[in-house]
Amino acid sequence: MLPSQALLPAVVFALTALRALASDTFLAAVYEHAVILPPATQEPVPPRDALALMNKNMDVLEGAIKEAAQQGAHIIVTPEDGIYGWQFTRESIYPYLEDIPDPVVNWIPCTDPSRFGPRPVQERLSCMARNNSIYVVANIGDKKPCDSSDPSCPRDGRYQYNTDVVFDTQGKLVARYHKYNLFRSETQFDYPKEPEAVTFETPFGKFGIFTCFDILFYEPAVVLVSKMQVDTVLFPTAWMNVLPFLTAIEFHSAWAMGMRVNLLLANTHNTTKAMTELSAHPRLSPTYPPAINWSLYATSIKKFPGENDTFSGTVRKDIFTFRELRHKDGNYTVCQGDLCCHLVYQMSNKTRDEIYVLGAFDGLHGSLIKYHWQICTLLKCPSTSLSTCGQPVETAQTKFEMFSLSGTFGTSYVFPEVLYSGVQLAPGEFEVLRDGRLKSKNGMSKPLITATLFGRLYEKDQPHPLRISL
Ligand SMILES: *[C@@H]1O[C@H](CO)[C@@H](O)[C@H](O)[C@H]1NC(C)=O
Ligand SMILES: *[C@@H]1O[C@H](CO)[C@@H](O)[C@H](O)[C@H]1NC(C)=O
Ligand SMILES: *[C@@H]1O[C@H](CO)[C@@H](O)[C@H](O)[C@H]1NC(C)=O
Ligand SMILES: *[C@@H]1O[C@H](CO)[C@@H](O)[C@H](O)[C@H]1NC(C)=O
Ligand SMILES: *[C@@H]1O[C@H](CO)[C@@H](O)[C@H](O)[C@H]1NC(C)=O
Ligand SMILES: *[C@@H]1O[C@H](CO)[C@@H](O)[C@H](O)[C@H]1NC(C)=O
């Protein structure tokens, strides 16, 4: 999970990155749950108290699941940490964990609750799925005992995993996924020795599943889509909004578009629900977006000439190369490392008290965990002082008549982001051409905060085991 901090209005999540076909669709629901948190204590509570707290959260989820099923949903996604929260030490989370078997055991906890000894959380989730005849996606904690015959067994004699589970319409456990890319404060959990690419088939397409911070890395997120060719990704998350490039709605919708896959996600913090119809097999749809060569246009043109007036600015801790957009319209290029970013733009109303820049970044991001970003961004600065460029900004007044942004990316994994004033998405108002240009369509209805091409060079990331951060 990513801890909450300065949250923007959290968001509903049902991203139809791909338009559904008239036939061969399914109805999906997501429920963003405001988790009822246990008391913040370092001491483990008695198991009975842990179960009581989890039941309180499951009471709320049960209402949402019933309602979704009554409205015809085939599947419902609930958030990461949605049943007990995130404020734990390794010891204090222990009473909340259940041993979760591998789905190959073919188990319906609702009808066979004592097969593996008491597992009340799995039993209840299974019954919610079975009673309502709906796939239920939830995030709970798994525990697996180990001993000294396993050299990496933790000192307390058990592995503890942040785990997604899926129960089908019969209540059968059909998927179990142990989160691989733990966020740095998740010291209550271990990550699995190897990343797990978990998929399952349904009458409405092939599904894959991963959790929160996983979405920023190659394994298992990209593997599920590019290699295993899932139709829909399930994504329980507890996401912290980070401007300018990583607010939940912005980055998650961009990832779904860049990967050309359905993404169903539920975040914590805010009670919202949404239902949407999706294509069961988007790759077969006539509206499936074409593959994009993200560098084709940018490598085909000369750098736009212009004033040599770049400057450095920081976006959180990353040092970007920026150039101010001085005029109402223009063509600009900014380069950093191997990346050159080109922008053609026209503003409809430029005022003196709003400054925009074109920025480029090509390098390792992160302090404890280093992973490679390539970013081209058209970005509003929070004030008229250039030294503030790169700091978060939530509102703007300048509308753009048009923009076209491209970059000489060294990757095929680029996620297109457009954010309007008030941290709002701009669905239908931009497009990505096959040659890699992110372009506005027919004028934009609201003032712009940022238009960004967020690229990931996974092969330059630090290897995963180095990401341990205890
Ligand atoms: C929750 O989301 C709704 C709708 O997006 C928003 O109006 C509300 O302010 C949000 N509440 C919190 C506490 O973020
Ligand atoms: C499921 O249905 C059974 C029988 O109708 C009922 O006893 C049980 O409480 C229900 N459980 C859930 C989780 O809906
Ligand atoms: C994209 O276009 C560039 C420039 O023409 C070319 O070198 C590269 O091979 C293309 N990439 C792919 C994946 O087709
Ligand atoms: C632009 O300025 C940089 C230093 O700020 C310098 O290295 C570079 O040669 C200049 N380029 C041109 C075309 O003047
Ligand atoms: C900017 O580039 C576009 C092509 O992308 C060209 O049509 C236009 O004339 C250029 N404008 C300027 C001011 O150079
Ligand atoms: C620019 O246009 C937008 C939308 O019409 C408006 O809200 C904003 O106030 C305008 N800004 C200026 C500086 O006129």
Q: What is the pLDDT of residue 305?
A: 81
Percent of the chain with pLDDT over 70: 93
Give the ligand at the shortest distance from the Cα of 395: 6
Residue-wise pLDDT tens digits, 291-308: 999 999 999 999 888 767
Closest residue to atom 2 of ligand 2, CA basis: 131
Q: Give the binding-site residues of ligand 2, using a 6 Å CB cut-off.
A: 62, 124, 127-128, 131
> Out of 62, 110, 123, 179, which one is annotated catalytic?
179
pLDDT computed for residue 465 by the predictor: 64
Token pair recorded at residue 417: 């982001």
Least confident of 17-26, 64-73, 317-326, 339-348: 17-26
Cα–Cα distance, 228 to 210 (Å, whole number): 14
Mean pLDDT, range 108-133, rounded to an integer? 98
Residue 368 confidence (pLDDT): 78
Nearest-CA neighbor of 194 among 220, 173, 166, 213? 220
The preferred substitution site among 131, 136, 167, 170 for testing ligand 2, maximizing ligand atoms within 8 Å of CB, is: 131
Strand order in the sheet with 173-178: 173-178, 158-167, 135-145, 75-77, 25-32, 272-279
> 56 phi and psi, to 5 degrees?
-60, -45
The percentage of residues in the chain with a pLDDT greater than 90, rounded to a whole number, is 84
421 lines ligand 6 (CB under 6 A): no
Q: Is the pLDDT of residue 466 over 50?
A: no
pLDDT for res 3: 33
Output 307 or 14, whichever has higher pLDDT. 307
Q: Tell me: pLDDT of 22 over 50.
A: no
Look up residue 458 and give its amino acid.
Y
CA distances from 207 to 140, 216, 233, 237 (A): 19, 19, 6, 17
Over residues 79-100, the pLDDT tens digits come to: 999 999 998 999 999 999 999 9
Residues 280 and 25: beta-carbon distance below 8 Å: yes
What's the chain's average pLDDT? 92
- For residue 357, give both structure tokens: 């820049």
Ligand 3 pocket test, pick from 294, 296, 299 with the greatest ligand atom count within 8 Å of Cβ, gives: 296
- Residues 212-235 pLDDT 10s: 999 999 999 999 999 999 999 999
Query: In the structure, what pLDDT confidence band is assigned to residue 18 with cuts at 50, 70 and 90?
Result: very low
Question: What average pLDDT does range 445-460 have in this prediction?
Answer: 97
Query: What would the pLDDT profile of 174-206 be if each residue is shown by its tens digit?
Result: 999 999 999 987 999 999 999 999 999 999 999
By alpha-carbon position, which residue is closest to atom 7 of ligand 6? 397
pLDDT at residue number 13: 34
Least confident piece of the model among 17-26, 112-121, 271-280: 17-26
User: In angstroms, what is the span from residue 400 Cα to ligand 6's centroid?
Assistant: 10
Decide if 193 is catalytic.
no
| C-alpha to C-alpha distance for 295 and 299, rounded to whole angstroms | 6
Is 179 among the catalytic positions?
Answer: yes
Mean pLDDT for the stretch of residues 382-388: 96
**Domains with residue ranges and CATH for the chain:** 5-284 (3.60.110.10), 296-466 (no CATH)
| Closest among 150, 228, 154 to 196, alpha carbons compared | 228
Q: Is 4 a residue whose pLDDT tops 80?
A: no
Check pLDDT > 90 for residue 376.
yes
167, pLDDT greater than 50? yes
| Angstrom distance (rounded) from CA 312 to CA 359 | 9
Higher pLDDT, 367 or 151: 151
Q: Establish whether 80 is a catalytic residue.
A: yes
